[in-house]
Structure 1
Amino acid sequence: MSLRVLLLPPNPSAALLEAVAPKGIDVEVTRLSEHTPDALRDALPNCDIIVGDWSGQLRLGDTEAALARDAALVQQPTAGVETIDLDAWARRGVPVANIGPANSWSVTEWCLGATMNLLRSYRWADAEVRNGRWPQLDILEHARPRELRGSRVGVVGAGQVGSRLCGMYSALGCDVSYWSPRSRIAEAAWRSLPELLSTSDLVIIAIARTPDTLGLVDRAAVAALPVDAILIDVSRGGIVDQEAVLGRVRDRTMAGAALDVFGTEPPQLDPQVIAEQNVLFSPHVAGVTGNSVAAQVGTVRDNIVAVATGKPLVHVLNR
């Protein structure tokens, strides 16, 4: 009998389509007739494996878990699982897995690239040359470039990305600290969140979105950042008050920001903010490289094979 796989992403890549139908495994792949909650609920009673929605539009909560009577696995093809009620699926004995550390190096390297872009004003310098100017002697006054070495770096989050960030920035000569409500990192000093935010030159938000972390870095927390601080957000929308961050950059009371995630994607940006050279926007691609995508779809494929062959699953979150 075929293994029935329900594929939820609205625009699955060719690599994902190949991964959900591994060679040698009899698989029947179904996609929704419409990308809606109603279409999802209609399809759930007739599947063995659910490959989650990476767009974040379709939730897999208690109602959905009750409908998926034959489900043996929910496999999220991303790191974030904020649209899945882990406890609801656990109560029904259904494991939920994500991709583990598949894209953690890609996100970590993106943060370094964003850091250097903002510290050394790459965008400003590029625009100056493209416009026929040569501000070699003016850059100190106009862009205030500075070295990364010796900077105080504060990382919010101690998961796969957070731990890699701490190790990388420490190796580059930075004074690194981190905050996490639970996890611990041997390579860096733990600080309270208020202390970390108020004393760091560079703050990187790399924590999972949960009910406890929504609004974690609110307007008051943003106001505590030093005047020369840079904030990088690679977490999920809703954790950081990005309006407050952008307001401070626009008012020149903060050095810069790099945002890869937003509360609403795509975001509606203020024209004044769009013109800011000290803000870097990115369409939620910090974790997207050829390497990371290969690792992601490989994890999806391996867990589908595991269900078919009775082997152990990897990266299960709700045991």
Structure 2
Amino acid sequence: MEILFTYDYGKDKMESIRQLGYDIIIKNEKDIVYHQEMEEVEVLVCYNPFITLDIRKMKRLKWIQLSSIGIDQVPKEVVLENGIVLTNNKGGYSVPMGEWIVLKILEIYKKSYKLYEQQGQKLWKMDTSLLELYRKRIGFIGTGSIATEAAKRLQGFEAHIIGVNTNGTKVQYFDKCYPIGELEEVLKQCDVVVLTIPYTEETHHLINETRLKSMKKSGVLINVSRGSIVDEEALIQHMKQGNLMAAALDVFEKEPLPQDSPLWAMENVILTPHNSWISEMRNERRFRIIYENMKRYIEGELLFNQVDIEKGY
């Protein structure tokens, strides 16, 4: 059975896939195009080769294993038309992203970025406006694996953890969960709002001008999901007017973030270049999921992390 990888996980790892019974083709994802040698490929393991690789030409393709959690890069109509199974890397990046969320809340509350600036200027000046995370109300819009890992790590701070999901289903580590229909009420009561919800047509600009106005003026917005979940222009204007204490953003509507974006110069905004998922364990965890699914597939077992392409997650 032939399998196409667009990333080389190293000699030992790739050999373990071969020992399962696969014939492996490895191509660089950045410039991959369809070639006749891909004619028999049944499985594609990738992130986003779809800009240059026309998978419609891969007539035997039955399954795509993504190395990402999000699926918005996938040509959904092709997948649906051809009955291709789609699985993602859900859970593979949740630990470092959970840590990143906690870090940014603390950086904002302890004003670390301003104190670092003072250090660079050799300026000794005490800041008496620092805040505590203790007993703050932290709201997660989306209660999947990323939110769960962050909520788990916030337990030691004795914060009050609130979640928003489709039906208000209770989730471990959350004190209370609300249905998405009560989003505005949740925004009103939270000190920190963390966006961990999948990007779909329904969640495009979920956080818009009206919902930003629902948040506390002392509130903090953190986004690690997808940039287009937030109306970026509305957020910029909202923050310019002093209606939000701070934001920590790892994702943006356009990436890389354009150099003329006002976000770069805002003192109360922390920007990172879609970096929250990175850690020394990223390839290890990613490969564990790939290997387990490869094993299941060749043995005819049910794959895990299967995505409902219609729902978008």
TM bin, normalised by shorter chain, reads 0.7 to 0.9
- Structure 2 residue 254 is matched with structure 1 residue 287: no
Q: Equivalent of 2:47, from 48, 53, 66?
A: 53
CA distance in 2, matches of 1:189, 1:40: 49
Worse overlay, 206-215 or 93-102? 93-102
SS of residue in 1 equivalent to 2:307: coil
Contact 2:69–2:89 (8 Å) recurs in 1:
yes
* Structure 1 gaps, min length 5: none
Work out the CA distance in 2 between the residues paired with 1:266 and 1:293: 23
- Partner residue in 2 for 1:204: 194
Instruction: Tell whether 2:141 aligns with 1:156.
Output: yes
Partner of 1:176: 161
TM-score by length of 2: 0.84
Which of residues 1, 4, 28 in structure 1 aligns to 2:2?
Answer: 4
Point out the more displaced range, 109-118 or 210-219.
Answer: 210-219
* Structure-1 separation of matches of 2:196 and 2:29: 35
Is contact 2:98–2:150 with CA below 8 Å preserved after alignment? yes
Cα 1:73–1:151 shift into 2, 3 Å: same
Code of the residue aligned with 1:5 in structure 2: it is I
User: How far is 1:288 from its partner?
Assistant: 1.4
Tell me how far apart the structure 1 counterparts of residues 137 and 244 of structure 2 sit (CA, whole Å).
15
C-alpha displacement of 1:184: 1.9
Q: CA contact under 8 A between 1:51 and 1:76: conserved in structure 2?
A: yes
Q: Pick which of 163-172 and 147-156 moved more.
A: 163-172
* Residue of structure 2 equivalent to 1:188: 175
Alpha-carbon deviation of 1:86?
Answer: 5.9
Aligned partner of residue 238 in structure 1, secondary structure: helix
1:156-175 Cα offsets, whole Å, 9 max, x none, are 00111123333433442112
Cα distance in structure 2, aligned partners of 1:110 and 1:235: 12
Do structure 1's residue 221 and structure 2's residue 219 form an aligned pair? no
Matches within 5 A, 1:213-292: 213-270=203-260, 272-292=262-282
**Whole-Å Cα distance in 2 between the matches of residues 280 and 161 of structure 1?**
20
> What is the CA deviation profile of residues 213-251 of structure 1, one whole-angstrom value per residue up to 9, with x for unaligned ones?
111111221122211111000011210122322333343
Question: What residue in structure 1 maps to residue 98 of structure 2?
Answer: 108
Name the amino acid aligned to 2:224: V
Alignment correspondent of 2:24: 28
TM-score (norm 1): 0.82
Higher relative contact order (CA 8 A, sep 6+): 1
2: CA distance, partners of 1:161 / 1:33? 26
| Paired letter, 1:256 | A
In structure 2, the gaps of 5 or more residues are none
Q: Deviations over 1:114-137 (max 9, x none)?
A: 11111111110011021010112x
Q: Report the secondary structure of 2:227's partner residue.
A: coil
The Cα RMSD (Å) is 3.0
Distance 1:271 1:104 in 2: 29
Out of 69-78 and 200-209, give the one that drifted further: 69-78
Range that drifts further, 24-33 or 238-247? 24-33
Which amino acid counterpart does residue 235 of structure 1 have in structure 2? S
Secondary structure at the aligned position of 2:229 is classed as coil
Q: Is the Cα contact below 8 Å between 2:18 and 2:24 reproduced in 1?
A: no
Q: How many residues align?
A: 302
Fraction of identical pairs, as percent: 18
| One-letter amino acid of the structure 2 residue matched with residue 96 of structure 1 | L
